[in-house]
Amino acid sequence: MTMNTQTHAANCEDCPVHNLGNLKKLGINMAEFDFVVALAGNPNTGKSTVFNALTGLRQHTGNWPGKTVTRAEGGFVYGAKRFKLVDLPGTYSLLSTSTDEEVARDFILFGQPDVTVIVVDATRLERNLNLVLQVLEITDRAVLCLNLMDEAKRHGITVDARALARDLGIPVVAASARQEEGIPELLKYIYEVATGTYVCRPHRLERTAPHLERALTELTRRISAEFPEIPNARWIALRLLEGDQKIIDAVRNGELRSLIRRTPIRQNEPMVNEGAV
Amino acid sequence: MKNETRQTNGTDAILSTANTLRWEIGDNIHDTLVESIYTDAQRIAARTVTVPESRPAFSFDRQLDRLITSRWFGFPLMFLMLAVVFWLTVEGANVPSAMIASLLVDTVHPWLRGAFSVLGSPWWFTGLMVDGVWLAMAWVISVMLPPMAIFFPLFTLLEDFGYLPRVAFNMDSLFRRAGAHGKQSLSMTMGFGCNAAGVVATRIIDSPRERLIAIITNNFSLCNGRWPTQILIASIFFGALVPAHLAGLATAGAVVAVAMLGIFFTLAVSWGLSNTVLKGEASAFSLELPPYRPPQLWQTLYTSLIDRTAIVLWRAIVFAAPAGAVIWLVSNIHIGELSLAEHFINNADPFGILLGLNGVILLAYIIAIPANEIVIPTVLMLTVLSAKLTGVGDGAGVMFELDDASGVADVLRAGGWTMLTGLNLMLFSLLHNPCSTTIYTIYKETKSVKWTAVATVLPVLMGLVVCFLVAQVYRLLA
Encode pLDDT of B176-200 as tens digits: 888 888 888 878 877 877 788 788 8
Smallest CA–CA separation between A168 and chain B, in Å?
A: 8
Smallest CA–CA separation between B252 and chain A, in Å?
A: 26
CB contact under 8 A, A178 and B296: yes
DSSP 3-state helix, strand, coil percentages of chain A (rounded to 5)? 50, 15, 35
CB contact under 8 A, A64 and B165: yes
**pLDDT in the model for residue A259:** 59
**Closest Cβ opposite residue A222 in set B13, B286, B307:** B13
Chain A hits for B33, CB-CB cut-off 8 Å, are 95, 205, 207, 238, 242
Among A41-55, B111-125, B367-381, the least confident range:
B367-381
> Is B448 within 8 Å of B335 (Cβ atoms)?
no
User: Best interface-test mutation with B: which of A52, A61, A63 has the largest number of B CBs within 10 A?
Assistant: A63
- B174 CB contacts (<8 Å, ≥6 apart)? B267
Q: What is the ipTM of this complex?
A: 0.78
- B365 CB contacts (<8 Å, ≥6 apart)? B375, B428, B432
Smallest CA–CA separation between B335 and chain A, in Å?
A: 50
CB contact under 8 A, B47 and A160: yes
Task: Kindly write down the DSSP assignment for every residue of A125-166, as one continuous string.
Answer: HHHHHHHHHHHHHH-S-EEEEEE-HHHHHHTT-EE-HHHHHH
Smallest CA–CA separation between A275 and chain B, in Å?
A: 34
pLDDT tens per residue, range B280-317: 766 666 666 777 777 777 777 777 777 667 766 777 77
- CA distance linking residue B374 with residue B379, whole number of Å: 9
Give the mean pLDDT of B347-351.
91
**Closest Cβ opposite residue A242 in set B30, B164, B291:** B30
Chain B hits for A242, CB-CB cut-off 8 Å, are 22, 29-30, 33
**pTM exceeds 0.90:** no
Residue B425 in this model has a pLDDT that exceeds 90: yes
**Closest Cβ opposite residue B206 in set A61, A96, A158:** A96
- A54 CB contacts (<8 Å, ≥6 apart)? A23, A25, A74, A76, A85, A183, A186, A187
Which one, of B476, B468, B422, lies nearest residue B238 by Cα?
B422
User: Best interface-test mutation with A: which of B4, B31, B33, B215 has the largest number of A CBs within 10 A?
Assistant: B33
Residue B32 — pLDDT band, cuts 50, 70, 90?
A: confident
Mean of pLDDT over chain B: 81
- CA distance linking residue A6 with residue A8, whole number of Å: 5
Chain B hits for A97, CB-CB cut-off 8 Å, are 206
CB contact under 8 A, A167 and B296: no
**pLDDT in the model for residue B239:** 81
Residue A23 — pLDDT band, cuts 50, 70, 90?
A: low
Which one, of B21, B12, B37, lies nearest residue A216 by Cα?
B21
**Closest Cβ opposite residue B32 in set A164, A212, A226:** A212
> Is B272 within 8 Å of B217 (Cβ atoms)?
no
Q: Which residue has the higher pLDDT, B212 or A23?
A: B212
CB contact under 8 A, A69 and B204: yes
Smallest CA–CA separation between A181 and chain B, in Å?
A: 16
Q: Which residue of A has its CA nearest to B296?
A: A178
Q: In whole angstroms, how far apart are CA A151 and each of A52, B69, B461?
A: 19, 23, 51
